[in-house]
Amino acid sequence: MPDTNGVSTRRPRPDVVSASSCGTFSRTAGLPASQHASVRLPLSVFIVACNEAERIGATLASVVDLVDEIVVLDSGSTDGTTDIAAAFGARVVHRAWQGYGHQKRHAESLCRHAWRLNLDADEVVGATLACELRALFRDGPPAPAAYRMRIVEVLPGETRPRMFAPCHDYVRLYHADVGRFRASTVHDGVELVPGVTTRRLAGRVHHHSFRDTARQIDKFNRYSDALVLDLEAGGRALPAWRLATEFPLAFLKAFVIRRHALRGGLGYVTAMNYAIFRHLRVAKHLERRWLERR
């Protein structure tokens, strides 16, 4: 384990692969079978982080033996995040926070390889996905393309995603020739070159987004501020009736459609927090409009 002066650098849980689990995949002919999985893929992982010491160790551990390069773009951590990243061999670069899309766009520009995999500091590459990546690069870097993957939520106390856990489907693996992240303060999706079609990987990324309610609401409060500014910059105006409907509909979406109802008390809490976040966005937006009229 890397020495980080007592800061946690947890190795991934049993369902999160290290390179030794994928010995059947190799991109280099002639290697003994025991060395197949020790070959790091010609792939850059880039991570945007700030004060993620509790979680980034597991993220880095899931890819440190898998890829040739890890880039961490840090926006001012004070909790040892950068020490953990450096101990795992990541290249750490400092840059003041410019917004979600802008940070990721800058981070991808720092990558040495044309093939890039983006992870958040609270995401862990699952075993199936790691093996799938080795298979994809078995004969060398594939032709330029873009791949979608499922980002599946894992709550505290869960060692792996539960059946029916909420998930999102995003492009996270792509070649520099086919796309790059949007230059946006609040949105961080990959914009693809016109005509590029995406493929889908079966493996999953495990998303450990929820630590506790206090920190989640704090994050939602800051993010809703940015969303309001983005609405105004785009010339959009939400109708006042949304103030009455946003909270209950958002709760139903999270609790029923996203199946948080199957996850006990924490499922109820996270559904409520999501509804609060959606309400904050609408309430702040309307409040600013009403105050401007006075």
* Predicted local distance difference test score (pLDDT) of residue 91: 97
* Predicted local distance difference test score (pLDDT) of residue 1: 37
Alpha carbons 41 and 27: distance in angstroms, whole number: 8
Alpha carbons 36 and 29: distance in angstroms, whole number: 9
User: pTM for this one?
Assistant: 0.83
* Predicted local distance difference test score (pLDDT) of residue 22: 53
| Residue spans in the chain of domains classed CATH 3.90.550.10 | 19-207
**In this structure, CATH architecture of domain 19-207:** Alpha-Beta Complex (3.90)
Q: List per-residue pLDDT tens for the chain, 294 residues long.
A: 343 433 333 333 334 433 344 544 333 333 443 445 568 999 999 999 999 999 999 999 999 999 999 999 999 999 999 999 999 999 999 999 999 999 999 999 999 999 999 999 999 999 999 999 999 999 999 999 999 999 999 988 887 888 888 889 999 999 999 999 999 888 889 999 999 999 999 999 999 988 899 999 999 999 999 999 999 988 999 999 999 999 999 999 999 999 999 989 999 999 999 999 999 999 999 999 999 887
For residue 259, what are its two tokens? 């199946």
Alpha carbons 55 and 7: distance in angstroms, whole number: 11
Cβ 183 vs Cβ 105: under 8 Å = yes
> Within 13 Å and on the Cβ side, how many CA atoms surround 292?
7
Residue 14's nearest CA partner among 193, 159, 157 is 159
